[in-house]
Amino acid sequence: MQNKISVKTPIVEIDGDEMTRVMWKMVKEKLLIPYLDLKLEYYDLGLKKRDETDDKITIDAAEAIKKYGVGVKCATITPNKDRIKEYNLKQEWKSPNGTIRAALDGTVFRAPILVKNVPPAVKSWKRPIHIGRHAYGDVYKNCEYRVPDAGKAELVYTDKDGKELFRGTIQDFKGPGVIQGIHNTDKSISSFAKACFTYAYDMKVPLWFGTKDTISKTYDAEFRKIFEDEYKKNWEQKYKEANLEYFFTLIDDTVARIMKTEGGLLWACKNYDGDVMSDMVGSAYGSLAMMTSVLVSPNGFYEFEASHGTVQKHYYKHLKGEKTSTNSMALIFAWTGCLKKRGELDKTPEVVEFAKKLETAAIETVESGIMTADLIKVAEPNPNNRQVYTEEFIDAIRKNLDKKL
Ligand code: NAP
Ligand code: MG
């Protein structure tokens, strides 16, 4: 075995829960530690530890990403009532992803991992469609009210000196109904726009953005305007030189056109659009386990993760001693994404090179027919196809990786 490749700066490693925690350990022990000299700043965000530390560990992990710049995160349980009982929790702790996003402020980019033998459900899609989801405001930070009966609902804005600057009627209700107030800020939209232009430029793909500004002439129109301003001010020249396009159209037109492209673009989505569309795009590319996710902060911090959850059902099987066939692709790509970024920032091309080889080894394993249950179901039929267990899949990738080093 040759010398280990040295990774210069410590990587912030954020451990998680259930089946992904089980796979995380395997990936580290089999695909990373044997090849890399890694310094890890380890944060255990397993639910037990979050409860023990009153969730301080989550804040510490976010602070560590701010210190070192790059982190990688395993999936974690967002507790609900059932989990409080299951883990005997002190309280219903908040979503760790929410806490980390709030601390780093950013945009979540998702991209499918493509393999030749799993054709996308949409025939024309040949290259990845990346999604950039604005992670602040709109319906996720709303104020809503169940209107009990006839009455008037108004939208009122009072400035900081208490002066009323705006009052508009939402609806004169004749009977019961519902109302909702949502907001966003120029600062957040602007950092969303910057993150999208940067990501598309780095990936060398065009940027598409859609809103409903024909109907929402103030709210959605402001998103459109801020993107337009950012483009004109900071990107137009660069995009032209790189032969890249910034394309704005109505959100419904965007959806219709996306179905007919070959992919190979970044789709910037408002918060709700991104929530819904990333799941549609992810499942159309084959499996939730084939979707990577990275949080890009406007301050230059990066957090890589898989976009799926802790795969609870598989974990319960695993606890009963049964074998599972859980797919570790997205977790592996969270690590390779993190290593590539670390290598790029540290100027250590050998680290980037290693990460790329690991990605290729993983993709070629699936393309050779060795895959987990989720993929067997959607892969093109082939006599070489063989369903393997969780650990066997990782072992097969290691064998392929060894051939490349
Ligand atoms: P999930 O973990 O994404 O799993 C949902 C289903 O998708 C699984 O039951 C499985 O389907 C399939 N699946 C997902 N990942 C897979 C993989 N790697 N390999 C094979 N199949 C995979 O969602 P969930 O079960 O609804 O949520 C479980 C926990 O995860 C929850 O406590 C939630 O809070 C948390 N969560 C965390 C994150 C995060 O940290 N980023 C994101 C989402 C959810 P089959 O059962 O049909 O095989
Ligand atoms: Mg969603």
- pLDDT higher than threshold 80 for residue 132: yes
pLDDT tens-place string over residues 81-108: 999 999 999 999 998 998 898 788 778 9
pLDDT at position 1, please? 53
pLDDT at position 137, please? 87
Cβ(309) to ligand 1 under 6 A?
yes
pLDDT tens-place string over residues 165-192: 999 999 999 999 999 999 999 999 999 9
- Ligand 1, atom 6, lies closest to the CA of 311
- pLDDT higher than threshold 80 for residue 247: yes
Pairing mode, strands 207-211 and 265-269: parallel
- Ligand 1, atom 27, lies closest to the CA of 309
For residues 11 and 32, give the distance between their C-alpha atoms in angstroms, rounded to a whole number: 13
pLDDT at position 183, please? 96
CB 118 within 8 A of CB 378: yes
What's the gap between Cα 4 and its chain centre? 30
Environment class of 169 (CB within 10 Å of its CB; exposed 0-12, middle 13-18, buried 19+): exposed
pLDDT at position 307, please? 87
pLDDT at position 286, please? 86
For a mutational test of ligand 1's pocket, the pick from 94, 311, 377, i.e. the residue with the most ligand atoms closer than 8 A to its C-beta, is: 311
- pLDDT higher than threshold 70 for residue 2: no
Cβ(313) to ligand 1 under 6 A?
yes
- pLDDT higher than threshold 80 for residue 45: yes
pLDDT tens-place string over residues 299-316: 889 999 998 999 999 999
For residues 328 and 311, give the distance between their C-alpha atoms in angstroms, rounded to a whole number: 11
CB 36 within 8 A of CB 96: no
For residues 112 and 307, give the distance between their C-alpha atoms in angstroms, rounded to a whole number: 10
pLDDT tens-place string over residues 282-297: 889 888 899 999 998 8
| Ligand with the closest atom to the CA of 309 | 1
- Ligand 1, atom 36, lies closest to the CA of 309
pLDDT tens-place string over residues 203-212: 999 999 999 9
| Ligand with the closest atom to the CA of 21 | 1
Ligand 2 center from residue 245 Cα (angstroms): 28
Ligand 2 center from residue 279 Cα (angstroms): 6
What is the percentage of the chain residues whose pLDDT exceeds 70?
A: 100
- Ligand 1, atom 33, lies closest to the CA of 77
- In one letter, which amino acid is 171? Q
pLDDT tens-place string over residues 351-376: 999 999 999 999 999 999 999 999 99
